[in-house]
């Protein structure tokens, strides 16, 4: 016997109510055995792949020219990049849009989007960025697996010699190895350059040919490093034997959880940090670029002297005795291109931006005319005419906007207060009955619609029926290829908000459905579509999150177009998706009975089988996306111009942090201000954050990511602005597992380890961050220095030091 969807929701809520929020905690390891994070199932809006529409729809993309080139940083590559677009039969397609996306530090393309010619070829010119190494550009076409071009960016001519440290305090008899590098104008190291060292005052400090300094007597000295016609000078202060690495600088002893921002000088920022007697201290340096451009890369050199390595156990919290082993994760390479589903979704949003933006004024004029006519009874409301059994024709083309409609015949299967269900008449057998569709609408009316509208506002109402259409169609199932390791649950397409024909009978968006609507997966127990079996209970669960997600998209797009008519009509993809993932999270909070300010632990989310299942079904996807970010924070940003899982995870987490910082009464107001802004992207988010503190929020967020819940004592010492109130990530992540594997056993943040006299070079694009851990021995002091290419820290780079233990 199948459990109706509404009954399933009630069962979840009832289980939580019976158990109560104070259910005693089980061991984290025992809970871990039941928790499952399914990475294979992408977010509810990750939704497009093979086309289901007419011929001449792009089906394949292949590189033609331009890959594997070599050039100097900042130069334009000789050979343009080109791709060929073909349909399913291999025939080339003209007029197809190709978007060119340069990864962080990889430069720019001109144009950033191009159209295929009569031979199906699209081209662009690639100008390398300022970072030496492997650069990448991804070519993307809606619904097609992207193609990635790579190039080798070589350092430019020598521009400077940089020696680390710039200043050193030594005791008589101490030795110190200087580290000299030759760099180009952008700060890239140039290998193979011979460096000579000269001691200006050898009686005080001498130096070997390899840069080893020996302190001989008390006084001040200089060492000059020269190479390629350039030179740099290191200042040395020699003190009596046993002197601290900080010299005469007063050490600063931070309390547990205390956050300190070293002052920036003319050439660097530095701090002398100490540990109390008998207690070894551990610190984290957090850095983030607040540059609003993902293509601008800021270099920073991090150096410490007199410190110790951090403890390996810094990443673990919440494991029971005998649990998973400790893992100190190092840098891992992330995929250089988007998965097909993300690429198609990003392309759809770009299509809305390019194809629909010219129609915004036309659409607003059309709607204002209709509204005026309705007010004078010239248009009658047809809401009462929508009844079960009615036949409606709807375009279900997921890959093209205003052209080539893929018209499907739909039958009204249920009518609710806020929405109607339309079912594709060609859906597979074994699907929902009308009674089950009615149950779905009851859940929508009483659970999902109130949650989303309370957080984001109400959608517009241009529909013929005065209601939102939930279109259950096999076209959504067809978007997931056979055997794919992900499931596309549905999609929203803003083209449906635009008129088919504008005033004066001018063409607008002929393929529009002129409805507030979105498209949803249908049960397919026999796998008739692409051989992918879709059991009804699984579709029930997936569709709940999908509906909450897509409704946010609908609200955001429709309010920007028809309610807040001075607004930019299209929100940036990264912010729109982040808000949609917040909608999924709000659904979980409502269904679980928890709130967004309870600092939920592994015992809370997995304290019973029912709770573990609820978390796995409705909350784990945000955790898996944020996991992707945590593995590579230096390569991912909350506002990267892509639709990667890491970007989605980062912006979800940042929005949750920013909303929580507004206080219990301010969370919804904050989210509504983001949705109801006249601007978009970073400008929108900046205006929603009080006091123009966007850059400060970014820094405070990075501190929270590594310091919040590190330990009870650390959290107790943290200023509240460094606390994310909803989740205890250090408790939950160790108990999560992927696809039936072992529990993670760690909070998977990728943090660098800083050793004494071992400088680290870090390059950060806009919104990317870095976490650097180090220790100070009990009763000792260490000197931490930050600089950028031998100079002061640029204003867009924000940093702080927090004591963790």
Mean pLDDT for 679-698 is 96
Q: Average per-residue pLDDT in the chain?
A: 87
Q: How confident is the model at residue 146 (pLDDT cuts 50, 70, 90)?
A: confident
Summarize the confidence of residues 687-700 as an average pLDDT.
Answer: 96
3-state secondary structure 60-78: EEEEEECCCEEEECCCECC
Residue found under tokens 């100008």: 127
Domains and CATH numbers, the chain: 60-154 (2.60.40.10), 160-310+751-803 (2.60.40.1080), 382-570 (no CATH)
Mean pLDDT check: name the lowest of 10-24, 301-315, 377-391, 655-669. 10-24
Q: Once rounded to an integer, what is the mean pLDDT over residues 659-680?
A: 96
- The distance between the two most distant Cα atoms of the chain, rounded to a whole number of Å, is 99
User: Is residue 668 scored above 70 in pLDDT?
Assistant: yes
Q: Where do the H-state alpha helices sit in 516-638? A: 536-558, 573-592, 602-606, 609-618, 620-631
Separation of alpha carbons 415 and 470, rounded Å: 10
Residue 621 has pLDDT above 60, yes or no: yes
Q: What percent of the residues of the chain are helix, what percent strand, and what percent coil, each to the nearest 5? A: 30, 25, 45
pLDDT in the model for residue 342: 67
Whether residue 320 is predicted with pLDDT greater than 70 in this model: the reply is no
Is-contact 319 121, C-beta < 8 A? Answer: no
Q: pLDDT at position 376, please?
A: 58
Peptide bond into 111 cis (omega under 30): yes
Q: What is the pTM of this model?
A: 0.86
Q: Is the model's pLDDT at 431 over the cut of 80?
A: yes
Residue 25 has pLDDT above 70, yes or no: no
- Residue 717: what pLDDT? 97
Q: pLDDT exceeding 90 applies to what percent of the chain?
A: 74
pLDDT of residue 486: 84
pLDDT at 377: 53
Taken in order 538, 541, 544, 550, the sign of the CA dihedral is negative
pLDDT of residue 142: 74
Give whole-number Cα distances, 538 to 423, 487, 523, in Å: 18, 11, 8
CB proximity list for 264: less than 8 A, separation 6 or greater: 786, 792, 793
Residue 332 pLDDT more than 90? no
> What average pLDDT does the segment 396-405 reach?
91
The whole-number average pLDDT for the span 55-83 is 92
* Residue 327, pLDDT above cutoff 70: no
Which of the listed ranges 248-252, 341-345, 447-451 does the model predict with the highest average pLDDT?
447-451
pLDDT band (50, 70, 90) for residue 786: very high
Runs of H (alpha helix) within 619-709: 620-631, 645-660, 667-675, 681-688, 694-707
Identify which has the larger pLDDT, 121 or 345. Answer: 121
Residue 362 has pLDDT above 90, yes or no: yes
Q: What is the mean pLDDT of residues 283-293?
A: 96
pLDDT at 797 over 70: yes
HSE, side-chain direction, 13 A CA sphere, residue 766: 13
Reply yes or no on whether the pLDDT at 30 is more than 80. no
Averaged over 580-603, what is the pLDDT?
Answer: 97
C-alpha pair distances (Å), 562 with each of 368, 432, 458, 673, 771: 9, 34, 11, 16, 43
In residues, how long is the chain?
805
Evaluate if residue 755 carries a pLDDT over 90.
Answer: yes
The answer to whether residues 228 and 193 touch, using CB atoms and an 8 Å cutoff, is yes
- pLDDT score at 517: 98
Inter-CA distances, 610 with 29, 605, 735, Å: 17, 9, 16
- Residue range 353-371: mean pLDDT, rounded: 89
189-204: pLDDT as tens digits: 999 999 999 999 999 9
Q: What is the pLDDT of residues 510-532, one digit of tens each?
A: 999 999 999 999 999 999 999 99
Calculate mean pLDDT across residues 539-553. Answer: 96
User: Residue 665 — φ and ψ, nearest 5°?
Assistant: -85, -10
Q: Give me the phi and psi of 772, to 5 degrees please.
A: -120, 120
Does the structure show a pLDDT above 80 at 421?
A: yes
CB 166 within 8 A of CB 235: yes
Contact 218, 208 (CB under 8 A): no
Q: Which of 294, 292, 332 is nearest to 102 (CA)?
A: 294
């Amino acid at each position: 016997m199948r459990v109706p969807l509404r009954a399933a929701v009630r069962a979840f809520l009832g289980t939580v109510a019976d158990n109560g929020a104070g259910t005693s905690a089980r061991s984290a390891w025992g809970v871990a055995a039941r928790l499952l994070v399914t990475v294979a199932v992408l977010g509810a809006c990750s939704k497009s792949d093979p086309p289901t529409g007419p011929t001449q729809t792009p089906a394949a993309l292949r590189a033609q020219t331009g890959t594997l080139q070599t050039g100097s940083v900042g130069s334009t590559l000789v050979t343009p990049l080109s791709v060929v677009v073909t349909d399913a039969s291999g025939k080339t397609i003209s007029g197809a849009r190709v978007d060119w996306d340069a990864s962080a530090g990889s430069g720019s393309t001109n144009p950033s989007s191009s159209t295929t010619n009569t031979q199906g070829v699209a081209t662009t010119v690639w100008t390398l960025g300022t970072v030496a190494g492997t650069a990448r550009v991804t070519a993307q076409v809606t619904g097609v697996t992207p193609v990635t071009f790579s190039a080798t960016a070589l350092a430019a001519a020598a521009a400077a010699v940089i020696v680390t440290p710039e200043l050193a305090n030594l005791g008589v008899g101490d030795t110190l190895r200087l580290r000299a590098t030759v760099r180009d104008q952008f700060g890239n190291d140039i290998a193979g350059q011979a460096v000579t060292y000269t001691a200006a005052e050898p009686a005080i400090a001498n130096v070997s040919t390899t840069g080893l300094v020996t302190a001989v007597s008390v006084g001040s000295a200089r060492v000059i490093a020269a190479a390629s016609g350039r030179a740099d000078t290191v200042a040395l202060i020699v003190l009596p034997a046993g002197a601290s690495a900080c010299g005469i600088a007063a050490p600063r002893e931070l309390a547990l959880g205390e956050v300190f921002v070293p002052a920036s000088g003319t050439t660097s920022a530095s701090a002398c940090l100490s540990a109390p007697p008998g207690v070894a201290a551990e610190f984290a340096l957090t850095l983030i670029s607040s540059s609003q451009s993902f293509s601008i890369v800021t270099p920073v050199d991090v150096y410490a002297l007199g410190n110790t390595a951090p403890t390996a156990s810094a990443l673990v919290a919440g494991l029971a005795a005998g649990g998973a082993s400790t893992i100190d994760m190092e840098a891992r390479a992330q995929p250089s291109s988007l998965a097909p589903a993300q690429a198609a979704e990003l392309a759809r949003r770009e299509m809305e931006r390019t194809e629909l933006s010219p129609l915004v004024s036309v659409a607003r004029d059309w709607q204002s005319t209709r509204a005026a006519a309705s007010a004078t009874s010239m248009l009658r409301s047809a809401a009462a005419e929508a009844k079960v059994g009615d036949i409606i024709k709807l375009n279900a083309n997921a890959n093209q906007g205003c052209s080539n409609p893929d018209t499907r015949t739909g039958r009204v299967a249920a009518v609710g207060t806020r929405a109607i269900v339309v079912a594709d008449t060609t859906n597979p057998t074994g699907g929902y009955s009308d009674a089950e569709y009615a149950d779905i609408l009851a859940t929508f009316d009483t659970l999902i619609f109130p949650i989303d509208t309370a957080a984001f506002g109400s959608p517009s109402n241009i529909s013929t029926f005065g209601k939102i259409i939930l279109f259950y169609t096999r076209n959504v199932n067809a978007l997931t290829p056979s055997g794919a390791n992900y499931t596309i649950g549905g999609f929203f397409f803003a083209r449906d908000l635009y008129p088919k024909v504008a005033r004066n009978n001018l063409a607008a968006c002929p393929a529009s459905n002129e409805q507030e609507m979105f498209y949803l997966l249908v049960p397919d127990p026999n796998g008739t579509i692409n051989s992918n079996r879709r059991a009804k209970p699984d579709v029930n669960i997936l569709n709940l999150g999908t509906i909450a997600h897509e409704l946010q998209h609908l609200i955001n797009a429709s309010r920007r177009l028809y309610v807040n008519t001075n607004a930019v009509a299209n929100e940036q993809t990264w912010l729109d998706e982040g808000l949609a993932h917040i909608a999924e999270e709000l659904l979980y909070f409502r269904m679980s009975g928890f709130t967004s300010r309870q600092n939920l632990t592994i015992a809370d989310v997995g304290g019973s089988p029912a709770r573990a299942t609820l978390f796995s079904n409705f909350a784990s996807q945000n955790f898996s996306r944020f996991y992707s970010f945590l593995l590579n924070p230096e390569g991912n940003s909350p506002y990267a111009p892509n639709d990667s899982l890491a970007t989605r995870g980062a912006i979800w987490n940042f929005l949750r942090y920013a909303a929580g910082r507004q206080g219990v009464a301010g969370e919804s107001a904050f989210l509504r201000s983001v949705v109801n802004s006249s601007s978009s992207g970073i400008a929108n988010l900046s205006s929603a954050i009080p006091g123009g503190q966007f850059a400060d929020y970014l820094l405070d967020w990075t501190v929270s990511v590594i310091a919040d819940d590190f330990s009870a004592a650390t959290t107790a010492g943290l200023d509240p602005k460094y606390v994310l109130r909803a989740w205890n990530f250090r408790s939950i992540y160790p108990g999560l597992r992927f696809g039936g594997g072992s529990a993670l056993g760690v909070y998977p943040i990728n943090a660098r380890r800083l050793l004494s006299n071992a400088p680290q070079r870090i390059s950060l694009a806009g919104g990317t961050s870095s976490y650097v851990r180090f220790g100070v021995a009990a009763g000792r002091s260490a000197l931490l220095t930050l600089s950028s290419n031998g100079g002061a820290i640029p204003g867009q780079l924000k940093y702080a030091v927090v004591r963790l233990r």
